[in-house]
Structure 1
Amino acid sequence: MSVKVRACSACQRNGRLTCRRTRLGEPCLKTYLLESVDLLRRARVAFQAGHTLKENFRLAQLQAVVQMLEEHECDFVDALGRDLHKPRFETVVSELLLVKNEALYAINNLRKWMQPQHVERNLSTSLDECVVVREPLGVVIIMGYWCSPVQMCMVPLVGAIAAGNCAIISPSECTAHTSELLHRLIPLYLDNECFHVIIAGLSDLPQVIELKFDHVFFTGTKEEGSKIAQAAARTLTPVTLILRGKNPCYVDQHCDIATTAQRITWASFHNAGQSMVAPDYILCHVDVKTRLVQALKSCLGQFYGCAPQESRSFGRMVSVDAFNHTRDMLWRSGKVAVGGQVIEAEKYIAPTILTEVAESDAIMQQDILGPVLPILTVNNVDEAIASIKRQEKPLCVYAYSSNSKVISRLMNETSSGSFCSNDSVLQSLMVALPFGGVGASGMGSCHGHYSFDTFSHKKSCLLRSTRFECVTYLRYPPYEERNLSLMSWASGLSQKSQGWCQIL
């Protein structure tokens, strides 16, 4: 087979060859540091020229995102099928429709979001205007993760566009076909000076970040996020980090086992378990363990048949490294109750349920990101809460129970980026709810208005009058005890009514 060098249409148009050598027909894009410098310069020039400030420009770009997703649905399905063996249904529902809904929600609410927010007046500002103005941060970089390569690039991008920023998107090189597709399509739909796509390896990203952006949005693992945060800190660049962790799922003895098993099975094994928000392990009440395992086994049979490797609804691991990592943890942990088969040549790991798992097992010490679901038992909800609190704060906590007090305790006595009762994953898909982490699972959030806020600076603005200088003169030197007494008296009155009054 011949070896050729391919360049994307944008590279050809700009007269630059920035691709790696590769075999014909394979994705070959890689953006080198010098081109990243040039793209950042172009984006900054466009931002400083005010191209992104007008509402109609933002709306046009958001509508272009919707158009791109609609016109190239088949291309995205094909790319994700190549990268993750992802079923069309999962691609459309969890990737394309999610991003499209984000864009449409932003389009419908943009004017309201852009309006200055008026602040309640008090005695000292009764004749003034106090407003909070949301202004764009500037040029931001968005780094997506391979497990949901479209969603995790495009959802933050929608927020960045709505807030009036220029953006550089860096999709994961692990999902090469999807990254190549974004690299090819975005220049065809979005403004070519304001929005760019780079393809860089994870090891290259700290160098890219040090070029100095106005915000860094990163999705990935805790270890990767730590490196990104350190690189951003060297240039005092603010960051949003959404980091994968071990998401616990408590199953109480008081719950509908059949429904619980269906919802956990779907959440744990869609995209072959490669999801940041999938349940990572189950804390099952000892009284229902046997019934739950049997129900999960039954659901796996209903969803994927007796031979999941032949199912068109079940995916594959993204890479050989990911396959080896998950397989090795599987073989060194617990006892296989369901599944356990692996086919290295296909990067296939069967949907697997492990029992007799201990907290010290390998699979409980690392992120799984694969189709393996460990089950640990607890005697009551107190043990479940204590177990969750012994670990670092996860991205998600799930609880299945028909007892509202149990749900309330799990929600209020544990800390996590998000919480969902009697279902899984859905809280991370809702445009009206913030999605983000806390502690070891990250900082900041996205979705809907929260994405707009993430990529905006809330600027305090006080529009004062020059009247009433006969009162405000009290703040000027030379300082007199009488003036201080008057100011203290006025502040005391204000505390009882409308808040502090500072005669300044």
Structure 2
Amino acid sequence: MQIHATAREAFASGRTKSIAFRKAQIAQVGYMLKDNEQRIKDAFKSDLGRPYQETELMDLSVVYSEVRSAYDSVEKWTKPQKVDFQFNWFAMGPKLVAEPKGVILIIAPFNFPAFLLLSPLVSAIAAGNAAVLKPSEQTPAFSQLLAELLPKYLDPKLYAVINGGVPETTKMLELQWDHILYTGNGRVGRIIAAAAAKHLTPITLELGGKNPVAIDPKMDIQLAAKRILWGRFSNAGQICLAPEYVLVPAHMQDTLVEEMKKVYKSFYPDGPENSDSFSRIVSTAHTQRIKKLLDETRGTVVLGGASDVEKRYIAPTVVRDVPLDDSLMGEEIFGPVLPIVPVKDVDEAISIIRSKEYPLAVYVFSNDPKFEEKVFSNTKSGAAVTNETVITAGDGYYTGKHCFEQFTHWRVSLKNPSWVDKVAMGFRYPPYKPDYMKAMKAISASLPPRPGTTGGAAKRWAFWVLFALVGAGSVVLTRSRGQLKA
């Protein structure tokens, strides 16, 4: 593929090594969005029926933050790192140097195309890489706009967009990349992991899941209802970090439902179908899938429930008394439908969470540190969040310094002076002699105290003082000889 070959050649030219170049390209990502904000918002309106405010909050503002952070921090991030001090190696000045991996492939889903493509791109640029972006074919308006804008703002040989569907993505995965970052579902994640394995390509996968909410019976239910419904209904529920189901003590389910009804009315006073504050599902196929899950539920719909497949509309919906083997509790819903599962207590809630695959987030609504600690310490997830939902999307392995490090190879560097062989490491050269073993043991690391004893490891300060003195003397002697020759 020509784009791949061009990116490799451009990377090999070495121009991404310049920090000034990286900063200029990072800034251009921000200005590409800023100069074209309305066109981008209109594209998302076309693709997702998304309100402008949600695009500003969940796509644009997050990328602006990434741009500012990377621009201000790239010198610090790329600065060589010292390794932990060890007597055996300090004379060699060992350090870790941040090297770019090469050409990065970034594959994003449809739900937040700007954020999930451009935030990793900023990190890839900061790390000194070339990058190829693959937007979702399910957001054609934005994908086409990005393909138009990117070469106008960034170096087109180093950074490119490839549009298309499964055939194009399959072709891309046949090529050798230096790192692949994919955000999406587990099914596609497995395909990408298998393709990457053929080339031993490192990958970063950010995959969806069913994110639970555990509610403390002593919690302010009004606040919980408002934040849970916001997280579930924003972007029509098409958020990988959205709460997927609520675990609430059975005796509190009625109270929670009543509070949710009040919040629902405040969100959509004239109903959600005609609201300019509610998005649409990305495609009729996804709409039909969500409708089927809803049609087959054995729970009771208490809010919403309406749908129109042709208009890609699923009403924001709450379903109570949902059994664990229900249609809504299998696959990730990825839509504006929220099941409520009544439980006996927090122990049952924890048992349910642990019975499923690790989610992206576990949400707890509680003001009791003991309740919070009990849930988090007995479950696993990508994020552990108290009294909030969704907003951790701006943190993690695909953002900021963490993402920079995903795209960075920390290259070990050291320089060993010649005098080290004379005072400490001459024993490594053949022919080996009995005395060499003593010298080797003298500089070997000592073990910690044996468990159950109070004794410490033997100290060898005399050896190291001698090592330092001889080393310093060798340096002085070398300099003196140099001055005499001069």
TM-score by length of 1: 0.87
> Which residue in 2 is equivalent to 1:78?
42
Report the Cα distance in structure 1 between the residues aligned to 2:445 and 2:98, rounded to whole angstroms: 33
1:290 aligns with 2:254: yes
> Which residue in 2 is equivalent to 1:188?
152
Whichever residue aligns with residue 427 of structure 2, its letter is L
Report the Cα distance in structure 1 between the residues aligned to 2:363 and 2:458, rounded to whole angstroms: 44
Greater mean deviation of Cα atoms: 86-95 or 476-485: 476-485
Whichever residue aligns with residue 408 of structure 2, its letter is S
Report the Cα distance in structure 2 between the residues aligned to 1:488 and 1:82, rounded to whole angstroms: 71
Deviation, structure 1 residue 45: 0.6
For residues 370-428 of structure 1, the C-alpha deviation after alignment (integer angstroms, 9 at most, x for no partner) is 11000101111111111111101111111111110111122221111111111011222
For residues 70-128 of structure 1, the C-alpha deviation after alignment (integer angstroms, 9 at most, x for no partner) is 11110111000000110010001110010010011000101101110011322112322
Whichever residue aligns with residue 453 of structure 1, its letter is E
> Which residue in 1 is equivalent to 2:346?
381
> Which residue in 1 is equivalent to 2:380?
415
How do residues 133-282 of structure 1 correspond to structure 2 at under 5 angstroms?
Answer: 133-282=97-246
Deviation, structure 1 residue 485: 2.8
Q: Which of residues 305, 313, 316 in structure 2 aligns to 1:340?
A: 305
> Which residue in 1 is equivalent to 2:76?
112
Whichever residue aligns with residue 274 of structure 1, its letter is Q
> Which residue in 2 is equivalent to 1:458?
410
> Which residue in 1 is equivalent to 2:365?
400
**1:120/1:130 contact within 8 Å kept:** no
**2:132/2:162 contact within 8 Å kept:** yes
For residues 277-300 of structure 1, the C-alpha deviation after alignment (integer angstroms, 9 at most, x for no partner) is 100111112232111111112111
Q: What is the alpha-carbon root mean square deviation over aligned residues?
A: 1.8
> Which residue in 2 is equivalent to 1:488?
441
Whichever residue aligns with residue 427 of structure 1, its letter is T
Report the Cα distance in structure 2 between the residues aligned to 1:271 and 1:492, rounded to whole angstroms: 57
1:314 aligns with 2:271: no
> Which residue in 2 is equivalent to 1:474?
427
1:363 aligns with 2:336: no
Report the Cα distance in structure 2 between the residues aligned to 1:326 and 1:288, rounded to whole angstroms: 27
Report the Cα distance in structure 1 between the residues aligned to 2:263 and 2:279, rounded to whole angstroms: 17
> Which residue in 1 is equivalent to 2:16?
52
Report the Cα distance in structure 2 between the residues aligned to 1:413 and 1:463, rounded to whole angstroms: 47
Deviation, structure 1 residue 481: 3.6
Deviation, structure 1 residue 497: 9.2
Report the Cα distance in structure 2 between the residues aligned to 1:381 and 1:199, rounded to whole angstroms: 47
Report the Cα distance in structure 2 between the residues aligned to 1:475 and 1:162, rounded to whole angstroms: 41
Which has the higher Rg, Structure 1 or Structure 2? 2
Report the Cα distance in structure 1 between the residues aligned to 2:109 and 2:378, rounded to whole angstroms: 30
> Which residue in 2 is equivalent to 1:428?
393
Report the Cα distance in structure 1 between the residues aligned to 2:249 and 2:432, rounded to whole angstroms: 70
Where does structure 2 lack aligned partners over 5 or more consecutive residues?
449-456, 468-486
> Which residue in 2 is equivalent to 1:22?
none
**1:121/1:130 contact within 8 Å kept:** no
Query: Are the structure 2 counterparts of residues 497 and 108 from structure 1 closer, same or farther at C-alpha, using a change threshold of 3 Å?
Result: farther
Where does structure 1 lack aligned partners over 5 or more consecutive residues?
1-36, 435-444
Report the Cα distance in structure 1 between the residues aligned to 2:202 and 2:421, rounded to whole angstroms: 40
**1:219/1:243 contact within 8 Å kept:** yes
Residue aligned with 2:141, SS: helix
Query: Are the structure 2 counterparts of residues 497 and 309 from structure 1 closer, same or farther at C-alpha, using a change threshold of 3 Å?
Result: farther
Deviation, structure 1 residue 479: 2.9
Deviation, structure 1 residue 490: 2.9
Report the Cα distance in structure 1 between the residues aligned to 2:101 and 2:346, rounded to whole angstroms: 44
Query: Are the structure 2 counterparts of residues 294 and 202 from structure 1 closer, same or farther at C-alpha, using a change threshold of 3 Å?
Result: farther
For residues 237-263 of structure 1, the C-alpha deviation after alignment (integer angstroms, 9 at most, x for no partner) is 111111111111111102111111111
**1:206/1:227 contact within 8 Å kept:** no
Greater mean deviation of Cα atoms: 115-124 or 130-139: 115-124
% identical equivalent positions: 36
TM-score by length of 2: 0.90
Whichever residue aligns with residue 369 of structure 1, its letter is F
Whichever residue aligns with residue 150 of structure 1, its letter is A
Report the Cα distance in structure 2 between the residues aligned to 1:120 and 1:396, rounded to whole angstroms: 34
> Which residue in 2 is equivalent to 1:20?
none
**1:250/1:282 contact within 8 Å kept:** yes
Report the Cα distance in structure 1 between the residues aligned to 2:231 and 2:214, rounded to whole angstroms: 14
**2:88/2:443 contact within 8 Å kept:** no
Residue aligned with 1:325, SS: helix
Report the Cα distance in structure 2 between the residues aligned to 1:279 and 1:206, rounded to whole angstroms: 32
Whichever residue aligns with residue 391 of structure 1, its letter is K
Whichever residue aligns with residue 192 of structure 1, its letter is P
